Amino acid sequence: MPALVATTTVASDPPSPDAGQIWYNTTDKVLRGYVLGTGAWATGGSLNTARGYIAGTGTQTAAIAFGGSTPSPTGITELYDGTSWTEVNDLNTSRLALAGAGTQTSALGFGGEITPPFTAVTESWNGTNWTEVNDLNTARKYLAGAGADNTSILAFGGYSPTTAITESWNGTSWTEVNDLNQLRYGLSAAGTQTAALAFGGNNLGPLFTQTETWNGTSWTEVNDMNTERDFSGGSGTQTSAIVFGGRVNPDPLTPTVITESWDGTSWTEVGDLSTARTDLAGAGADNTSALAFGGYSGTVLASTEEWTKANVTTDLGAS
């Protein structure tokens, strides 16, 4: 590894350093840098309606939560502004165990369970209202989704029974594309329609650690998570994602607090959630900023947690 070289020499630390900046403090006789810290979860504003098997998408400061189980299927939709949740217009079809992707103002909700067993219903959110659009080709619940907005979404996995089916949404209709390598449901996801990440889940047996990446055409298995789990929260991109909570044992039900961060190559365990939970939802731009909300931990939850991995000043070496 090459030696670290200070970009500047100063008598005191700069008040507002840039990310990655390195300097030598002549007073303290130490080389310092402004780098990413370890990250931690903090308490955010609670949902107005506690629920599990909930869907959500967006960012830490602009998220949307919809559907779920209270324990009855619900269509309740709420928006998060970084501080608190506000209830807005409901889904047209109340359901649980659905998937969602997009942004707070342009999202898609698809699949799930209305009454057993499962549905193909798809709805599009324009920032104000939900509109029913063309159904998935394969009805299913416990699936996952990734996408930038309500015109560009990928749906994959799920239970109908257990499937690896992947479908691509173009703003009008769903088209079946290449399957996941691993049949699974209760999986989590991050990314976009052409660069997605699928991780965890199960297939009526052992829980999975398997992670797969999607390049717009096919899925490729990459490095596994450290902890096998299903029904966890996930968010971020194909190269910068985070997974949190879920079940580490289905019988007896064992929710977890374990959080892992993905850097595009491998998963690293980071700071735990405050509350162990499964059947939750997540939102976030990358592995430095995320939101965990809802879920189940003996009862349905309304609590929200905010993940931040901020830059910090750290000593790199003394002289």
User: 291 forms bridges with which residues in the sheet?
Assistant: 283, 306
From residue 74, how far is each of 66, 93, 313 by CA, in Å? Answer: 8, 8, 46
pLDDT per position as a tens digit, 166-207: 999 999 999 999 999 999 999 999 999 999 999 999 999 889
Q: Are 281 and 293 in contact (CB under 8 A)?
A: yes
Average pLDDT for 91-111:
98
- Please give the Cα distance from 91 to 147 (Å, whole number): 19
- Please give the Cα distance from 62 to 83 (Å, whole number): 10
The owner of tokens 């450290």 is: 226
Task: Go through 42-61 and write b for each residue having 16 or more CB atoms within 10 A of its CB, e for each that does not.
Answer: eebbebebbbbbbbbbbbbb
pLDDT at 42: 97
pLDDT per position as a tens digit, 142-157: 999 999 999 999 999 9
For all residues of the chain together, what is the average pLDDT? 94
pLDDT per position as a tens digit, 202-211: 999 889 999 9
Domains of the chain, earliest start first: 8-36 (no CATH), 40-308 (2.120.10.80)
pLDDT per position as a tens digit, 219-236: 999 999 999 999 999 999
Q: Is the pLDDT assigned to residue 1 strictly greater than 80?
A: no
Question: Rounded to two decimals, what is the model's pTM?
Answer: 0.90
Please, which pLDDT band fits residue 294 given cuts at 50, 70 and 90?
very high
Phi, psi (deg, nearest 5) at residue 94:
-65, 135
Phi, psi (deg, nearest 5) at residue 187:
-90, 170
Residues in the chain: 319
Q: Is the pLDDT assigned to residue 283 strictly greater than 50?
A: yes
pLDDT at 310: 67
Three-state DSSP state, 244: strand
Q: Is the pLDDT assigned to residue 292 strictly greater than 50?
A: yes
- Please give the Cα distance from 95 to 74 (Å, whole number): 5
From residue 253, how far is each of 150, 244, 269 by CA, in Å? Answer: 34, 16, 22
